[in-house]
Chain A
Amino acid sequence: MTLKSLDPRVKRLGIPEEWDTPLSPKETLDQFENYEAFIQVKEGKALEHVGPVHAPNEEMAFLFAKEQYSRRGMFCNALCVVKTENIIGTEFSDNGISIYDAVTAQPSGIENQSYEVFHLLKRGKQHKYVGTVMAKDFEDALVVAKHTYPSQKPVFNVWIAESEHILTSNEEDKDMWETLKEKQYREAIDYKGQDRIKAYKERMGQA
């Protein structure tokens, strides 16, 4: 069987004409690395996962995340980014079952590395930050997390990252999220069309 197409997009793929011929290896793409962004929407709330960004380094990832996921003044109080490859995730558990049920080991007692722990409590929702644990490696961190942050509801999935791999906005830079309140010119609501629309409707109703 041979594959033929007139579509240039298909031709560009360089699919061999003979079926089952192995594809030629692709060149490495010059691509930014993936980072995951987490946002704290309000003082006192947990940081929660909002999505990925692609960036050449941590600081740039922070900027891109800020532009992409935060709204100043209202919906952001803190932001952190971590390279996706530095997050280790567990398997997903089935409904009603916590992923921690499968964790039976005891904490090693060696606490030489700091890890940050994120829980997924609802399918389709975001991973939320639960806290820090001290452990010797990822597996151990999962064990310690099970004991340190017991959850009433099943935890479907856990993300763990080394604390030093996370770039978080500074507490003293919190004012960065503040903005002048008087920005009505940015809001559609400031254009007072409603009165005129109402008057028009009334006129039309009477006519």
Chain B
Amino acid sequence: MNTEALKDLLYKIADDQLILGHRNSEWTGFGPLLEEDIAFSSMAQDKVGQSWQFYKILNELGESDPDTVAFMRNADQFHNCKFVELPNGEYDFSLIRHFLFDTAEGIRFNMLSTSSYEPVAQLAKKIKGEIKYHTMHANIWIKQLGSATEESIGRLQQALDYAMPYALGIFETSKFEADLKQEGIFDGEEALKAQWLTQIGEIIAETDLRMPEIQSLQPQLGGRYGEHTEHLQPLVEEMSEVFRVDPTADW
């Protein structure tokens, strides 16, 4: 088993979830509807909970304990894609991100449920239900607002066009792509992306939204290996503010 390849995979999954979980949690108290406020908060907790599970596996593979890993790194040590660290902006962008990211996540975990690395396969199966709800939630909202009024369609289209290059950054290939495939750990980002394009295309086709020209876009890469936007470091500082006051405190 190529442990380095495995860790590389687990870090990017866990960091994506932690960072997006934190971003989603910023909607608490600000949701456009009470139910959406609750939904984003609840999905945020799911994501943070999932990231914790992945950090625990990393811990078993020799990395530091989950709290230290989550709260004591600086932005350039994070492996999340740039997409998840972008500020929430308006609800239109947050919803589009939720739709694009969670669809990819759902497919990723479906692929990982047959991984040769048993702890990951087990975990992927355990969280399938949570992610099923996240994607269902996203799809219903996109279908609703993507075909409701001129304003809602226009806003979502703008958000979609802005988000797409960043969303393509989810599929930034790993240094270990070949190893992961060869060992049956993960089928790879390209396979994931292909399925993702089909799935989001199907939902978008049910709305008045246009799918951006994927071929003409420049994916926003770099996040997987520590290159981030200026938005990540402030997020990390805020997220770890309390922990860093006294990292040895017993909670």
Chain A interface (Cβ within 8 Å of chain B)? 53, 56-57, 59-60, 62-64, 66-68, 72, 173-180, 182-183, 185-186, 191
Residues of A within 8 A of B50 (CB): 180
- A180 and B144 contact, CB distance less than 8 A: no
Closest CB of chain A to B148's CB: distance in Å?
8
Distance in Å from the Cβ of A181 to the closest Cβ of chain B? 9
Q: Measured between alpha carbons, how far is A43 from B38 in the docked complex, in Å? A: 25
B126 interfacial by beta-carbon distance below 8 Å: yes
Q: Mark B142-157, 1 if CB is under 8 A from A, else 0.
A: 0110001000000000
Q: Do A180 and B35 touch across chains, with their CB atoms under 8 A apart?
A: no
Given A59-B143, A60-B140, A60-B144, are A173 and B35 neighbors across the interface (CB < 8 Å)? Answer: no
Contact A63 B130 (CB under 8 A): no
| A185 partner residues in chain B, CB cutoff 8 A | 48-49, 52
CA distance A176 to B135 in the complex (A): 11
Which residues of chain B have C-beta atoms less than 8 A from A174's C-beta?
A: 129
Report yes or no: A176 in contact with B129, Cβ–Cβ below 8 A: yes
| Residues of the B chain whose Cβ atoms lie less than 8 Å from the Cβ of A176 | 129, 132-133, 136
Q: Report the minimum CB–CB distance from A43 to chain B (whole Å).
A: 15
Q: Which residues of B contact A63 (CB under 8 A)?
A: 35, 39, 136-137, 140-141
Which one of A56, A173, A180 contacts B130 once the chains associate, using CB atoms below 8 Å? Answer: A180
A60 and B127 CA atoms in complex are apart in Å by 23
List B residues 72-90 near A (Cβ within 8 Å): none
A67 to B133, CA, bound (A): 11
Task: Report the bound CA distance from A72 to B140 in whole Å.
Answer: 19
B75 CB → nearest A CB, Å: 23
- What's the nearest-Cβ distance from chain B to residue A49, in Å? 19
A183 and B144 within 8 A (CB) = no
A67 touches B42 (CB 8 A): yes
Q: Name the one of A177, A178, A186, A191 contacting B45, with C-beta atoms under 8 angstroms.
A: A186
Q: Are A182 and B52 in contact (CB under 8 A)?
A: yes
Distance of A164 Cα from B143 Cα, bound (Å)? 21
Contact call B140/A59, Cβ cutoff below 8 A: yes
Task: Give the secondary structure class of A's interface.
Answer: helix
11 A/B residue pairs, CB under 8 Å, sorted by A: A56-B144, A56-B148, A59-B140, A60-B144, A67-B39, A68-B35, A68-B38, A175-B128, A177-B129, A180-B49, A180-B126
CB B165 to nearest CB in A, in angstroms, measures 29
Q: Which residues of A contact B38 (CB under 8 A)?
A: 67-68
Q: Smallest CB–CB gap between B49 and chain A, Å?
A: 5
C-alpha spacing A53/B38, complex, angstroms = 14
* Neighbouring B residues of A180 by C-beta, 8 Å: 46, 49-50, 53, 126-127, 130
Complex CA distance for A177 and B46, rounded to whole angstroms: 12
Partner of A175, one of B39, B132, B140, B143: B132
A76 to chain B, nearest CB (A): 11
| Complex Cα–Cα for A21 and B136 (A) | 52
A182 surroundings in chain B (CB, below 8 A) = 49, 52-53
Please, how many angstroms separate the alpha-carbon atoms of A180 and B52 in the complex?
Answer: 11
Interface residues of B in 30-87 (CB under 8 A from A): 33, 35-36, 38-39, 42, 45-46, 48-50, 52-53
Question: Of B36, B48, B251, which one neighbours A191 at CB under 8 angstroms?
Answer: B251
Those of B140-192 within 8 Å (CB) of chain A: 140-141, 143-144, 148
CA distance A176 to B36 in the complex (A): 18
Nearest chain A residue, comparing its CB with the CB of B46: A179
